[in-house]
């Protein structure tokens, strides 16, 4: 299986001066935890790390320190996640029929979840890992701060990565997104907007995305609980 890692962000919400994926989490950088899970997955053979050129030396050091024997490729990222993934898709070998996309910032992903998504991808053209939401979610009008509606929580799932797709339709959806000016925060949204089906695979509650300093503290707690 081919896997792309969007890792070209800046970590604005983390409030740090460098890419949050290079911040320490216990004894290694955030991205090293993500890569260690990918290294341990049975299904992934080819890894494309999408990053900003400035971060390349640090990323290289992480890959070397993990002794990754899988094929690891470097892909220069874009100014948005959407653009970074698009560049990743263009860098895939022509023989790649399916691809998993996993955010570098979801550093607590398990090899088992990656492998479950890879297996499910053989049966469906689009899928995401997701978990039922725990909070009651409100739709709020930005101008007035008034609640517009309260969607039925039983139908709400929080999207995670890995997300997996057949490469050819996903590339077409990205092209359409560029033509139409769609701004999305995950790849499934492009698939959906093009009317293509996306299946949900049960994710993991601990598969959080490191976004704010508090997430780093929670990630550290979870890793310690795992005996790391
Ligand atoms: N990402 C990317 N290219 C970008 C922006 C984001 O590859 N131009 C990646 C991030 O590195 C991250 C994933 O997409 O692994 C999810 O993005 P997010 O959590 O929003 O990370 P950042 O964009 O770095 O954080 P922020 O939005 O707070 O600046
Ligand atoms: Mg972002």
Tokens of 53: 């050129």
Q: Which domains does the chain have, with CATH numbers?
A: 2-225 (3.90.550.10)
CA distance 19 to 103: 13
How many whole angstroms from 79 Cα to the centroid of ligand 1?
9
Contact 213, 12 (CB under 8 A): no
Task: Supply φ then ψ for residue 166, to 5 degrees.
Answer: -70, 135
Rounded to 10 degrees, the C-alpha dihedral 40/93/167/73 comes to 40
pLDDT at 187: 98
Contact 88, 102 (CB under 8 A): no
How many whole angstroms from 105 Cα to the centroid of ligand 2?
10
**Triad 214, 58, 91: Cα angle to 5°:** 100
Question: For the whole model, what pTM was predicted?
Answer: 0.98
How many whole angstroms from 7 Cα to the centroid of ligand 1?
6
The residues facing 129 across adjacent strands are: 201
pLDDT at 117: 98
CB atoms near residue 101 (< 10 Å): 27
Tokens of 10: 């800046």
pLDDT at 69: 82
* Helices of type H across 77-212: 81-91, 111-121, 167-180, 187-193
The tens-digit pLDDT sequence of the chain (228 residues) is: 999 999 999 999 999 999 999 999 999 999 999 999 999 999 999 999 999 999 999 999 999 999 988 899 999 999 999 999 999 999 999 999 999 999 999 999 999 999 999 999 999 999 999 999 999 999 999 999 999 999 999 999 999 999 999 999 999 999 999 999 999 999 999 999 999 999 999 999 999 999 999 999 999 999 999 999
Alpha carbon separation from 180 to 52, 194, 197 (Å, rounded):
26, 11, 20
How many whole angstroms from 81 Cα to the centroid of ligand 2?
7
Could you tell me if residue 32 is left (phi over 0), alpha (psi between -120 and 50 degrees) or otherwise beta?
A: alpha
pLDDT at 25: 98
Ligand nearest to the CA of 209: 1
Tell how many helices (H) and how many strands (E) occur in the chain: 7, 11
Of all protein residues, the one whose alpha carbon is nearest to atom 13 of ligand 1 is 103
Pocket of ligand 1 (CB under 6 A): 6-13, 20-21, 50, 77-81, 84, 103-105, 209, 211
Q: Which residues surround ligand 2, an ion (CB under 5 A)?
A: 9
Q: Which atom of ligand 1 is nearest to the CA of 105?
A: 15
């Amino acid at each position: 299986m081919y896997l792309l890692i969007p890792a070209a962000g800046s970590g604005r919400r983390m409030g740090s001066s460098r890419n949050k994926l290079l911040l320490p989490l216990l004894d290694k950088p955030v991205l090293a935890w993500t890569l260690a899970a990918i290294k341990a997955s049975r299904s992934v053979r080819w890894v494309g790390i999408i990053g900003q050129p400035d971060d390349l030396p640090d990323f290289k050091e992480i890959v070397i320190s993990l002794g990754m024997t899988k094929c690891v490729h470097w892909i220069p990222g874009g100014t948005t996640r959407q653009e970074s993934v698009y560049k990743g898709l263009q860098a895939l070998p022509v023989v790649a029929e399916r691809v998993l996309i996993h955010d570098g910032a979801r550093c607590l992903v398990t090899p088992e979840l990656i492998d479950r998504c890879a297996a499910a991808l053989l049966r469906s053209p689009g899928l995401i890992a997701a978990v039922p939401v725990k909070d009651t979610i409100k739709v709020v009008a930005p101008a007035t701060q008034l609640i517009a509606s309260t969607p039925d929580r039983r139908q709400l799932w929080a999207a995670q990565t890995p997300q997996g797709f057949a490469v050819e339709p996903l590339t077409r959806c990205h092209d359409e997104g560029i033509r139409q000016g769609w701004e999305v925060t995950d790849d499934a949204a492009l698939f959906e907007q093009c009317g293509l089906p996306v299946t949900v695979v049960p994710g993991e509650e601990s598969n959080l995305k490191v976004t704010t300093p508090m997430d780093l503290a929670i990630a550290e707690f979870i890793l310690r609980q795992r005996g790391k």
